[in-house]
Amino acid sequence: GAVVSQHPSRVICKSGTSVKIECRSLDFQATTMFWYRQFPKQSLMLMATSNEGSKATYEQGVEKDKFLINHASLTLSTLTVTSAHPEDSSFYICSASGRAPGYTFGSGTRLTVV
Amino acid sequence: AQSVAQPEDQVNVAEGNPLTVKCTYSVSGNPYLFWYVQYPNRGLQFLLKYITGDNLVKGSYGFEAEFNKSQTSFHLKKPSALVSDSALYFCAVRDNGDTGGFKTIFGAGTRLFVKA
C-alpha cells in the first residue's frame, strides 16, 4: 500500500532557529501534499495544500512567511518553520494523495522549541 | 462563522453493536466534509469525504457517513463495531472563507471505545 515517510519524528531546536520537516511518498507519486498541525488539546488544523511544482495554498490565518512549504518533486514536500518560537511547538503531520483515492499520512513530527 | 462540533468526547459501544460518532457543522456555503481516524499505533488515516452527490458516503474499514443538509450533520456510522475500531475520530469541514480563502476546521475529536 501507499506509504508516506515523515522525517524527523522528533526535533528540539532553539528559539530563533529554523527547522525543516520532510515528507516523502515512498511508492507513489504525490500530486498533492497537505500539512497539518495538531495542538495539545488534540484538535487538528490544516495549514496548507501544495501541488507539485506550484506555490502552496495556505489556509486562512496561517502565516506563509513563517511556515515555508516546498513541493519540488512528486515524492517530496518540505515544511520549514522559520525563526521558531516556543508557541510553534506542536505536532506536525503531512499527508499525500496521488492517483488513488484517499490520503496517506506521515507519522508526524514532534517539534519542541526551547 | 465556520465551525464544526463533535458533541461527544467519548463513545462507548459493545463489539458487534452499531456505532455512531456525531458531527455537526456550520458553514456559509456548500461544505466539504471529512472524517479521519487516529489509531494509537498507526497514526492518522483518512476515512471518507463528502464533496457532492449521494448523501451517503462509504469509506474505509466499513465506515459510512450521511450528509444531512437540513440538520447540518455528517455523522459517522458503522453497522457492527470491532474492538480494533477503538481510536480517536476527527470530523472536518472545509469552506470558502468570507475573504475568499479556504479554511478547514477540525472538530476536537471523539474517542471511541469498543468493548469485547
Q: Confirm or reject contact between B8 and chain A (CB < 8 A).
A: no
Q: Say which DSSP state A56 is in.
A: P
The set of cell numbers assigned to A40 is 495539545
Among A33, A37, A46, A62, most B C-beta atoms within 10 A, so best to mutate, is A46
* Contact check, Cβ <8 Å, A105/B44: yes
Task: Answer whether B84's CB lies under 8 Å from B56's CB.
Answer: no
What number is the average pLDDT over the span B70-77? Answer: 96
Q: Which distant-in-sequence residues (6+ apart) come within 8 Å of B89 by Cβ?
A: B6, B21, B35, B36, B37, B38, B47, B76, B109, B110, B111, B112
Q: Which of residues 60-79 of B touch A (CB under 8 A)?
A: 60
What residues of chain B lie within 8 A of the CB of A34, using their CB? none
- Residue A25 pLDDT greater than 80, yes or no: yes
Percent of chain B residues topping a pLDDT of 90: 66
pLDDT confidence band for B101 (50 / 70 / 90) = low
Give the pLDDT of residue B50: 92
Measure in Å the smallest separation between the Cα of B12 and chain A Cα atoms: 19
Which residue type, as a one-letter code, is found at position B76?
L
Q: Which has more confidence, B98 or B57?
A: B57
* Contact check, Cβ <8 Å, A105/B45: yes
The set of cell numbers assigned to B42 is 498507526
Q: Which distant-in-sequence residues (6+ apart) come within 8 Å of B104 by Cβ?
A: A45, A46, A59, B92, B93, B94
- Determine which of A4-8, A58-62, B111-115 has the lowest per-residue pLDDT on average: A58-62
pLDDT confidence band for B20 (50 / 70 / 90) = very high
Interface size A-B, in CB pairs within 8 Å, comes to: 49
Task: Answer whether A15's CB lies under 8 Å from A72's CB.
Answer: no
Measure in Å the smallest separation between the Cα of A34 and chain B Cα atoms: 12
